[in-house]
Amino acid sequence: MQHDTTPTTRTTDVVSTHTVFGAPCWVSLTSRDVRATEEFYTAVLGWEWRKAKLGDHFRIALANGAPVAGIAAVAAMWHMAVAWTPYFAVRSADKAAGRAQERGGTTAVGPISLPPGRAALLADRDGATFGIWEGELVTDWETWRRASPAFIRLHTRDAFDAAIFYGEVLEWASADTGCCEVTYEAEEVVLRSKGEVVARIESGALESAPDPTIRPHWQIHFAVSDVAACARAAEQHGGSVLRLDTEEAVLRDPDGAQFTVTAGRRR
């Protein structure tokens, strides 16, 4: 969900999901403890922090002064799983949630009102969790989009089937201005917004796999300058390394949330 929901007084900074829709618009971590989460991600990714408008359990992470992600330390309070989740911009959260349910998806939370918008936490028909947001985007969202500090990839059972589900729910490839474009490249589904690659979908995940890294899920990638250094810092601060090579590392924070660090702006 969007954590920084106070609209800016400069109207030129306001971007709405009614004009930009279908694309990823934010990433959020549900955690258990604000302080511990801040300490870990500061050590691993060098993030700084500012308070969010939703209260003491919420934070906005900053990289080089630009907003990167939101933290919601509500996992225990709201009985939610600890996890990184991508949020997609939609013109109507209620209609998008309804379309997801009609196509075999499920609703975990919402849609709920978080002025100036509405949010919901959903799962697709293979169980991969994602969020939707209707309303004004986070302050400085254009800076976030241009910096592209985060990238998302869906590991799923069948990329083509998933593309149909998300395309219908999120209105990909509609005729309206502001929507996303979908192409099939090298056996992957590639999602573009304003010409930029913003997400990829790949096949091969197993629904019943005991390893959560193999089951269908959205993986959040953060661009870093030194993958190996991030992996070392994760282990030194209570996390773990699930996979490591020269280009990227799959890491797990002390609470169990999984994420990937990727060299540069690899897409």
Q: Over the stretch 14-44, which tens digit does the pLDDT of each residue have?
A: 676 777 789 898 899 999 888 999 999 999 9
Residue 7 has pLDDT above 50, yes or no: no
Residue 5's pLDDT is 47
Residue 8's pLDDT is 40
How far apart (Å, rounded) are the C-alpha atoms in residues 252 and 27?
16
Range of lowest pLDDT (9-23, 178-192, 228-242, 247-261): 9-23
Tokens 């947001």 sit on residue: 133
CATH topology of domain 17-263: 2,3-Dihydroxybiphenyl 1,2-Dioxygenase; domain 1 (3.10.180)
- 117-150 residue pLDDT tens: 899 999 999 999 999 999 887 655 566 666 556 7
SS3 23: coil
Tokens 């609209």 sit on residue: 7
Tell me what percent of the residues of the chain surpass a pLDDT of 90: 52
Strands of the sheet with 181-185, listed across from one edge: 181-185, 188-193, 196-202, 150-155, 217-224, 258-263, 248-252, 240-244
- Rounded to an integer, the average pLDDT of 57-64 is 86
Write down the domain spans for the chain. 17-263
Residue 75 or 207, more confident: 207
> Is residue 90 within 8 Å of 131, Cβ to Cβ?
no
Cα angle 189, 23, 178 (rounded to 5 degrees) comes to 110
